[in-house]
Amino acid sequence: MWKTTFFVFMVVSSAWTATPAVGQQANGMEQVEIVKLGTIDCDLVETTPVVFDGKVYRFEYVRERYWNNRTGDSYFRFVSHTDGSHTTPFASGFHLGSAYVRQNNMIVTGVDDWGADKIHIFTSDDLNTWHDWVAFELPGYEIFNTSLIHDGERYVLMFEIGGPPAGVGFTARFATSRDLKNWNILPPDYNYAMERYTAPHCLRYHDGYYYNFFLEMNDGFEMRVVRSRDFVHWEASPLNPVLRSSADDKKIFNDGLTVACRKRIAEADNTNNSDFDFCEYRGKLIINYSWGNQMGEEFLAEASYEGTTEQFLASWFP
C-alpha cells in the first residue's frame, strides 16, 4: 500500500506461466497491453490521476518522509500532468488519500491517521477552497486506503480494513451514499476477501460490474483485478496479474529527477507493483503505480493503455 516497452503478464488459475511476447496469445486469450513508461518520483505511493476542468492532474498524498517535504507533516495536493506545477497543499496531517471527480466537483477521501476509525471527505470546485466533513466512523476498525466512484445512481466507497474484524488483513469493505454525507455501510459479508491478503486500492464500475484492483502477495506483491455485481460473489480475471515488478519500473520518465533519486532508483530492491490507479484522457489511460520493496523503499511510476476505460475493464474478462 503501500522509453516505451510493452508490459504484460499472464496468470491462469493462480499459477504462473511464462511471459508471452507482445502480440502473441496465451491459452487462446489476448493480452492486455500496458506500457510502462518509467519512474517519475521517489517516496510517493498513493496517487490518483484525474481529469478536472479539462486538464490532467495527479492527486498526491505527500508523506512526512517525502524527499522534498519541508513541512514536517503529511498533506494532500494536485500536480499538473503538463508542467509539474502543484496546487496549494491542504489536509495537513491526513493520510492515504484518493481523488474522484463528478460534475466538476473534486472529491477527496482520506483518513486522519494510519489505521483510523473514520473516513473524511474533502470537496472543492477550484482545487483551492475546500470543504470537509466526516463521512462515517467505525469504532474498533482500522481503515487505510479508499477509492470512490459513482455508478449512475449512488456513490460507492471501497475502503481498506486492516483489523481486527477483517479476516486476514487487508480486506475491501464497501459503503454507499446518495449525497456523500449519509452513508450505508454494507454488512461484513460484502467484502473481498477475508481468507487472504487482498489489499484493495482502485474501484471502477462498468456495465453492471464493480471492478476491484487490489494487491496480493505472490512471489512479491502484484496488482490483480476481480469483479462483482453484488460485492459478495467475485470473479477473478483469467489474465491476472495486472501489474508485476519488472526492470521497466526503473526507467526514468521524469528528466527533473535529482541525482540522489536516480541513484536510489538504480540501487533499489524491486519486488512490488502496487497502488494502481488511472484516468482516461483523449481515448487512452494515464496510469500511476508504485514500485519498490514494501519496506520503505517506494517510487512512483507512470504507464499507459491505448484505449478507453470501458475497453480496459472489459479486456480483463474476455
pLDDT tens for 55-103 read: 999 999 999 999 999 999 999 999 999 999 999 999 999 999 999 999 9
* pLDDT recorded at residue 27: 54
User: What count of other Cβ atoms lies within 10 Å of the Cβ of residue 69?
Assistant: 15
* Residues found in the chain: 318
Composition of the chain by helix, strand, coil, percent to 5:
5, 50, 45
The grid coordinates of residue 124 equal 472543492
Contacting residues for 303 by C-beta, under 8 A, at least 6 apart: 7, 34, 35, 36, 37, 243, 287, 288, 289
pTM, two decimal places: 0.91
For each of the domains in the chain, give its residue range(s) and CATH number, in order of start.
Answer: 48-250 (2.115.10.20)
Residue 302 or 2, more confident:
302
The grid coordinates of residue 113 equal 491517521
SS3 state of residue 249:
helix
What is the spatial distance between Cα 166 and Cα 152, in angstroms, rounded to a whole number?
Answer: 29
Specify the DSSP class assigned to residue 248: G
* pLDDT recorded at residue 28: 60
Q: Residue 90 half-sphere exposure, CB side, CA atoms within 13 Å? A: 24
In tens, the pLDDT along 151-203 reads: 999 999 999 999 877 778 899 999 999 999 999 999 999 999 999 999 999 99
For residue 102, the cross-strand partners are 105
